[in-house]
Amino acid sequence: MKDAELAERIGVLIGGPKNVSQATHCATRLRFVVKDDKMVATDDLKKLKGVVQVVESGGQTQVVIGPGVGEVYEALLKRPGWGKVAGGEGGEQKKQGFVDWLFGLLSGTFQPLLMPLLGSSMLLMVYGLANQFAWFDVDNPSAFWQVLLAAANSFFRFMPILIAATATRRLGGTPYLGATIAATLLHPAFTGLGGPGDVVDFLGLPLYVYDYASSVFPAILIAIALSYLEPLLRRILPKNLHLVLVPTLSLALLVPLAYLVIGPLGVMLGNGLVFLIQAAGEFSPILMGIVFGATFIFFVMFGLHWALVPIQLLAIAAGGDPITPMAAAYNFGVWGLAVAVFLRAPKGSDLREMAGAGALSGLIAGISEPMLYGVILRYKRVFPMIIVTGAVGGGIMGAFQVKAGAFAFSSLLTIPLMTPTLGYVIGIAVSFTMMFVGVLVFGYEAKGSNDVSTAEAAMESEDSAEPTDDQPSRAALTLDGEPTLASPLTGKVIPLSEVPDPVFAGGHVGAGVGILPTDGQVVAPFDGTIIVAPASGHAVGLRSSDGIELLIHVGIDTVNLAGRGFTTHVKVKQDVRAGDPLVDVDLKVIEEAGYSLATPVLVTNARALGEVTLDAGDTVTAGEPLLRVTPMREDASSS
């Protein structure tokens, strides 16, 4: 699906721009602050091809796309009405608890700064390596190195200005007014009052002089103060004077307040958080690494890892950030998983493609969300494995007391930012290897777990017929000729890969096609015996006299309807003739419930039979030829 088409569908399913107060994005997710959750078609969003997952967290509806999220976001903004809510100018936000509000503020403040933050960090790495290897004279650097340093360090030096702008915008204020107030903290007229820690008299009040360059919380507190002051001024002042008096009074009131109260309070808050991190590290760096490495998956799962950014930046300014290396233990475990799944997954499957892309984007760009939502949360067996891997790797990082010298995503490219480098490499190597070997040895699927579709579960349910001596086994079967299987439904034929369920689409249940039914009657495609007939009626399985097993799964996730809209005419072990009614389906019930009508028709024991190919056109009528089974050669079956 193209970016423009995906953006259009997401926009509609999120409720349109009228339902959105703010639309932003980070490295992998579109983030929406919606006004009415009931208008969001979450289930349909999850089914869109190109959407990895949908998460509700931090007061946001987060649509996980992956590394290509920027292009989808830009395409969305080109749609009518969406430009007005980009960044947060779409009206009042829905009510939030304090925790959701706080995490939303922190993540919304730093997401727009992601690109300059990472770019500056990478240039600082280059400058640091050049300094380490004495590629230039530190006391007398050339213009080239001076320019490089300016490009690398300017973001961090003037960071309070940028933070104030994005935080103010997040809170619904005028961003450049917030940035201007924060800029006064860096103005020479203020910094020239004295050295850091000096106290000067301001109308009889003590004014503490601090170095606010690279600070975080003073700017955020300024944005919060402005978010209350600006609306108040607009309410009490005449409307025709807003343009002049609102900014004038905001500056006149908040700049002194920033010098006297807000700035020092922000410094104290930042120092307190750094002290807590250092205290935890001094108490037991290994324990801290174990706990953080094991739990970082939950921060990423709910999109809360962005709230850690200000703490990481403060720790870097104080001498080094221990959080990034500990998080890397989880990240490299994910990429060990990705490589292992790529090697184990069936060739040509969507899972293999996803794992390959996840491994590449992770190891090079440091992005784990595609694997988290596409594999870890789908195949529950690997979930405890990744927690243990993160704990072990995090403990190693703590033992070596590894710290990051600049903000960065964990990837192969950012290894030089970590010190001691050897300890970091050992930590990520152990995490990667543990997960890689674990998945190769134990696999990623667990029988009966949530990673199998409802159809597979039905095949193994207590309703299924027990095999008897006269029934063909799932070993290689011998067929007469090339049997043709009739269609059990009337409708449009679609490739199996277009069925909006990764298990069906990946061929994990069986080989076959999908049908978009236009008639609600499901009939027997051949003479045989019913082997699957759950009470919900959403699926029917048959076995022919020569051992062909066919599954008809009406719609996707329709088991959730609990039988509503389905009338079943057969039961397990019942013999049927071709054309006999199996199930009557009210297609409107499925559509109104928001589920897809796509119906997989699958030969579930195809591997024991041979090749299954399409024997129909774009549309098919019940009873007409649909699939052809070409038996495998005897030498292939015996190998």
Q: HEC string of 126-189?
A: HHHHHHHCCCCCCCCCCHHHHHHHHHHHHHHHCHHHHHHHHHHHHCCCCHHHHHHHHHHHHCHH
Whether residue 495 is found in the same domain as residue 633: yes
**Range with top average pLDDT, 92-106, 149-163, 275-289, 420-434:** 420-434
Q: Which of 16-25, 457-466, 586-595 has the lowest mean pLDDT?
A: 457-466
430 or 368, which is more confident? 430
Whether residue 533 is found in the same domain as residue 428: no
Sorting pLDDT into bands at 50, 70 and 90, what band is 536? confident
Sorting pLDDT into bands at 50, 70 and 90, what band is 402? very high
CA distances from 612 to 530, 609, 627 (A): 21, 9, 7
Residue 638 has pLDDT above 50, yes or no: no
Whether residue 479 is found in the same domain as residue 620: yes
Whether residue 227 is found in the same domain as residue 359: no
Sorting pLDDT into bands at 50, 70 and 90, what band is 431? very high
Is the pTM value of this prediction over 0.75? no
2 or 264, which is more confident? 264
Residue 604 lies in a domain: yes
Whether residue 319 is found in the same domain as residue 268: no
328: which residues sit within 8 A by CB, 6+ positions away?
Answer: 393, 397, 410, 418, 424, 427, 428, 431
Q: How many CB atoms lie within 10 A of CB 72?
A: 24
Whether residue 300 is found in the same domain as residue 212: no
Residue 142 lies in a domain: no
Whether residue 304 is found in the same domain as residue 250: no
Domain count along the chain = 4
User: Which of 42, 75, 95 finishes a domain?
Assistant: 95
pLDDT of res. 368: 79
Reduced to 3 states (helix: H, G, I; strand: E, B; else coil), residue 555 is coil
User: Which of 377, 410, 442 finishes a domain?
Assistant: 442
Sorting pLDDT into bands at 50, 70 and 90, what band is 349? low
Whether residue 512 is found in the same domain as residue 625: yes
Whether residue 339 is found in the same domain as residue 482: no
pLDDT of res. 639: 39
Q: Which of 90-99, 235-244, 406-415, 458-467 has the lowest mean pLDDT?
A: 458-467
Residue 479 has pLDDT above 60, yes or no: no
Reduced to 3 states (helix: H, G, I; strand: E, B; else coil), residue 515 is strand
pLDDT of res. 67: 64
Alpha carbons 445 and 459: distance in angstroms, whole number:
17
Sorting pLDDT into bands at 50, 70 and 90, what band is 36? confident
Average pLDDT over residues 475-485: 62
User: Which of 252, 280, 308 finishes a domain?
Assistant: 280
Residue 32 has pLDDT above 60, yes or no: yes
pLDDT of res. 457: 39
For the domain that residue 537 is a member of, what is the CATH number? 2.70.70.10
Torsion angle (degrees, nearest 10) of CA 108, 109, 111, 113:
160
pLDDT of res. 632: 63
Q: Which of 110-114, 347-351, 608-612 has the lowest mean pLDDT?
A: 347-351
Residue 90 has pLDDT above 50, yes or no: no
Catalytic residues: 26, 553
Is residue 39 a contact partner of residue 15, using CB atoms and an 8 Å limit?
yes
**Range with top average pLDDT, 1-10, 13-22, 135-144, 515-524:** 515-524
Average pLDDT over residues 427-440: 94
pLDDT of res. 95: 54
Residue 451 lies in a domain: no
Whether residue 273 is found in the same domain as residue 292: no
pLDDT of res. 97: 67
Average pLDDT over residues 243-253: 94
Using the Cα atoms of residue 299, residue 305, residue 307 and residue 310 in order, give the sign of their dihedral. Answer: positive
Residue 385 lies in a domain: yes
Whether residue 416 is found in the same domain as residue 334: yes
Residue 457 lies in a domain: no
pLDDT of res. 58: 60
What φ, ψ does residue 234 adopt, rounded to 5°? -70, -25
CA-based radius of gyration for the chain = 30
Residue 295 has pLDDT above 60, yes or no: yes
Residue 392 has pLDDT above 50, yes or no: yes
Reduced to 3 states (helix: H, G, I; strand: E, B; else coil), residue 543 is strand
Residue range of the domain that includes 604: 463-638
Residue 17 lies in a domain: yes
Q: What is the mean pLDDT of the chain?
A: 83
Sorting pLDDT into bands at 50, 70 and 90, what band is 480? low
Residue 139 lies in a domain: no
Q: Which of 136-150, 189-203, 222-236, 304-318 has the lowest mean pLDDT?
A: 304-318
Residue 533 has pLDDT above 60, yes or no: yes
Q: Which two tokens stand for residue 377?
A: 């949360």
Whether residue 237 is found in the same domain as residue 322: no
Q: Which of 90-104, 470-484, 614-628 has the lowest mean pLDDT?
A: 470-484
Residue 453 lies in a domain: no
- If we measure between CA atoms, which residue out of 140, 144, 184 comes closest to residue 160? 184
- The fraction of the chain above a pLDDT of 70, given in percent, is 88
For the domain that residue 75 is a member of, what is the CATH number? 3.30.1360.60
